[in-house]
Amino acid sequence: MVTLIVLAAIGAAVLYGILIYNGLVKARQMVKEAWSGIDVQLKRRADLIPNLVDTVQGYAVHERQTLEQVTELRNRAVNVPTDDVQQRAAVESLLSTAVGRLLAVAEAYPDLKANENFLQLQTALQDVEAEIQMSRRYYNGATRDLNVRVESFPSNLVAGPFGFEQADYFEVESAADRQVPKVEFGSAG
Render pLDDT for 76-127 as a digit per residue (tens, 0 to 9).
999 988 888 989 999 999 998 888 888 888 778 888 878 888 889 888 999 9
Q: Identify the CA nearest to 56 among candidates 7, 11, 91, 106.
A: 106
Task: Check pLDDT > 50 for residue 129.
Answer: yes
Domain that includes residue 121, residue range? 2-178
Which CATH number goes with the domain that contains 126?
Answer: 1.20.1440.20
- Between CA 163 and CA 144 the distance in angstroms is 17
In a domain, 36, yes or no: yes
Using 50, 70 and 90 to split pLDDT, how confident is the model at 181? Answer: low
Section 160-189 average pLDDT: 68
CA distance 31 to 143: 6
CA gyration radius, the chain: 23
Length of the chain: 189
In a domain, 46, yes or no: yes
- Is residue 189 very low, low, confident or very high in pLDDT (cuts 50, 70, 90)? very low
Mean pLDDT to the nearest integer, 43-61: 86
Give the chain's domain count: 1
In a domain, 183, yes or no: no
Q: Which residues contact 92 (CB under 8 A, 6 or more apart)?
A: 42, 77
pLDDT of residue 184: 52
Residue type, 112: L
Query: Which pLDDT score, from 0 to 100, does residue 60 have?
Result: 75
Cis peptide before 154 (omega within 30 of 0): yes
User: Smallest Cα–Cα separation from 33: which of 159, 135, 181, 161?
Assistant: 135
183 pLDDT higher than 70: no
* Whole-number pLDDT of residue 132: 92
The residue-averaged pLDDT of 9-18 equals: 94
188 inside domain: no
Q: How far apart are the first and last CA of the chain?
A: 91
Q: Which amino acid is at 29?
A: Q
Report the 10 Å Cβ neighbour count for 69: 18
In-domain check, residue 187 = no
Spatial separation of the C-alpha atoms in residues 80 and 78, rounded to whole Å: 6
For residue 108, give the DSSP letter. Answer: G
Nearest to 67 by CA among 39, 104, 122: 104
The answer to whether residue 185 sits within a structural domain is: no
- Report the distance separating Cα 107 and Cα 22, nearest Å: 54
Q: pLDDT-based confidence at 180, cuts 50/70/90?
A: low
- Specify if 52 maps to a domain: yes
Which pLDDT value is given to residue 188? 43
Q: In the predicted model, is pLDDT for residue 169 greater than 50?
A: yes
Q: Would residue 45 count as lying in a domain?
A: yes
